[in-house]
Amino acid sequence: MSSLLTASSHDQRPERARERELAELRLLLNLSQVLDENPDLAESGPLVLQTLSEHVAMMRGVIYMLRDESAEITIEAAFGLTERGLQRGVYGVGEGVVGQVVLTGEPALVPKVSEEPRFLDRTESRTHLTKEEISFICVPVKQGTKVIGALSADQVYESDQPLENDVRLLQTVATMIAQAVWRHREQQRERHALLEENRRLHNELKSRFRPANIIGNSKAMQMVYDHISRVGTSDCTVLIRGESGVGKELVAQAIHYNSSRSSRPFVKVNCAALSPSLLESELFGHEQGAFTGATKQRIGRFEMANSGTIFLDEIGDFPMSTQIMLLRFLQEREFERVGGGKTIRADVRIIAATNRNLEEAIATNEFREDLYYRLNVFPIYVPPLRDRPTDISLLADYFAGRYSKINNKTITRISTPAIDMLTSYHWPGNVRELENCIERAVLLSDNAVIHGHHLPPTLQTAEATGTVLKGKLEEVLGKIEREMILESLKSHRGNMRATARELGITERIMGLRVKQYGINPKRFRHNSIT
């Protein structure tokens, strides 16, 4: 009879082993899912330990992390500990059982904690147990050969219950924890890198579009800067007026990037570039099936700009139907998508710009008067380039440097005759025309200097510049002579003696030529060579 019982017992052991293996596989699968969803142990660790406790009858469980900066071992997550225990659970490397595991990288198995002198019970979580003994298991958490922490478990001591299987299971779980820590740290590094890149780009944009970088020191531009600084701190609607090409968009960008909304979206819309039928959909979006071709829902620019700024360029070209929708938004801060019935609210600051005479457009019923007053809360007028001639040379130097860098060229200066040509021109295309002009000159220049002949023909036709090389030989030679004298005077900062020496003429002849060509040497005394 006893032999039959023995045989039956042997038959049950493989079955129990299989059940245990299946249970462990299910456990490891659950833990893997938890850690994959959230590798941050501070958040997922307690759930990992609680799930583990249901399998190994664990009273308490702790995940420790080694802090590189302090060389301390602290609790990252715990199960079954009090708040006081969480705060007290700090060890040095080599201190206590946990510290030894981190130091050696080897697991520790303590069948009875009462018989282990190295067991510190620093969390004070076992002081109230009088009758039952506690077994303690602690395994290292490793990334390769480097120990980064430890995993421990408390179990009620049972003399007939071997703990080796639990040690093996905890080692597997510790490996999973190490992988989760690595993933989380990689995510943190990527997030930090993205934040740094975002901060760098934001600072770059802010630097690029700050008022100080809108080139110009004239009195008219100083007034523009003052207006930008005053309105930037508010959320009021701004209307920027001025001719085409004066830089209205730059002013809008300067207002946005110097406001409290600078980290939020800046959305631009060129109203003149869109047909009336597309403008409403572009601004406010549309629902699927709203019109032919509307195969899916589309988010409009106002929704894109939520919490930021929208720049409506060429607002004077708005059709009347769109003016009504814009007026409603300005009044109520809400709208509906084209073909939709849902009211959408958006926190958007509006900056509008136009080169049209809106007052005339109102008189001819092309622009709504009530919309005009809603937009014209804080008007800013950007002067044309012809009204600020002192800014031309500054702008020219800026564009020369910019396009030299873009085209891998070295332009050190613009010749004096070329500067004269630039300042005497009336610039109907304003700053945009000047920029195009300098870009062309940079490409044509075959040395470090932009000369008059590098400028467009429209500038070279002005007789007042003295740079048009046509006419009789004597006239042409006179113009060349004048240019050489100007260049030399500039190089020598107006020094007549040095200029005469360089040109190979006497000081007397130099004085006569300066008088003949109406040149004032004093203008060059404070100019650098470049």
Question: Which pLDDT belongs to residue 212?
Answer: 61
Note down pLDDT in tens along the chain; length 530 residues: 444 444 444 455 577 777 778 888 888 888 888 888 888 888 888 889 988 888 877 888 999 999 877 788 888 888 888 777 777 778 888 888 889 999 999 999 888 877 777 776 666 665 554 446 788 899 999 998 899 999 999 888 876 667 788 888 899 999 999 999 998 888 888 888 888 887 777 666 655 555 666 888 888 898 998 899 889 888 999 999 999 999 999 999 999 988 889 889 999 998 888 877 788 888 888 887 667 777 777 888 898 999 999 999 999 888 888 899 899 999 988 888 888 778 888 899 999 999 999 999 999 999 999 999 999 999 999 999 999 999 999 999 999 999 999 999 888 889 888 888 898 888 989 999 999 999 999 999 888 899 888 888 878 654 434 444 555 777 778 878 888 888 888 888 888 888 888 888 998 888 888 888 888 888 777 544 33
Q: Are 62 and 89 in contact (CB under 8 A)?
A: yes
- Concatenated DSSP letters for 298-332? B--HHHHTTTSEEEEETGGG--HHHHHHHHHHHHH
Question: Which pLDDT belongs to residue 364?
Answer: 92
Q: Round to whole Å and give the CA distance between 394 and 385.
A: 12
pTM: 0.52
For the chain, how far is it from start to end, CA to CA, in angstroms?
113
Question: Which pLDDT belongs to residue 471?
Answer: 59
Q: What is the DSSP letter of 270?
A: E
Question: Which pLDDT belongs to residue 9?
Answer: 46
Strands 343-345, 413-414: parallel, antiparallel or unpaired by DSSP? unpaired
Q: Round to whole Å and give the CA distance between 429 and 243.
A: 8
405-440 tens-digit pLDDT:
999 988 888 988 888 889 888 898 999 999 999 999
298-342 tens-digit pLDDT:
888 898 999 999 999 999 888 888 899 899 999 988 888 888 778
Instruction: Show the tokens assigned to 505.
Output: 């003429």
Q: Round to whole Å and give the CA distance between 488 and 13.
A: 105
Q: Which residue has the tokens 């409506």?
A: 312
Instruction: Say if residue 462 is exposed, middle or buried (CB neighbours under 10 Å; 0-12, 13-18, 19+).
Output: middle
Q: Round to whole Å and give the CA distance between 383 and 378.
A: 16
Question: Which pLDDT belongs to residue 236?
Answer: 93
Tell me phi and psi for residue 204, to 5 degrees. Answer: -65, -45
Chain-centroid distance, C-alpha 129: 57
Q: Round to whole Å and give the CA distance between 232 and 226.
A: 10
Q: Round to whole Å and give the CA distance between 478 and 252.
A: 48
Q: What's the Cα-to-Cα distance from 471 to each of 171, 390, 468, 478, 486, rounded to whole Å?
A: 96, 31, 9, 11, 21
Question: Which pLDDT belongs to residue 522?
Answer: 82
298 Cβ contact partners less than 8 Å away, ≥ 6 residues apart: 281, 285, 286, 337
Question: Which pLDDT belongs to residue 3?
Answer: 47
Strands 146-156, 134-143: parallel, antiparallel or unpaired by DSSP? antiparallel
**Three-class DSSP labels, 335-402:** EECECCCCEEECCCEEEEEECCCHHHHHHCCCCCHHHHHHHCCEEEECCCHHHCHHHHHHHHHHHHHH
- Domains detected in the chain: 20-186 (3.30.450.40), 210-383 (3.40.50.300), 384-449 (1.10.8.60), 469-530 (1.10.10)
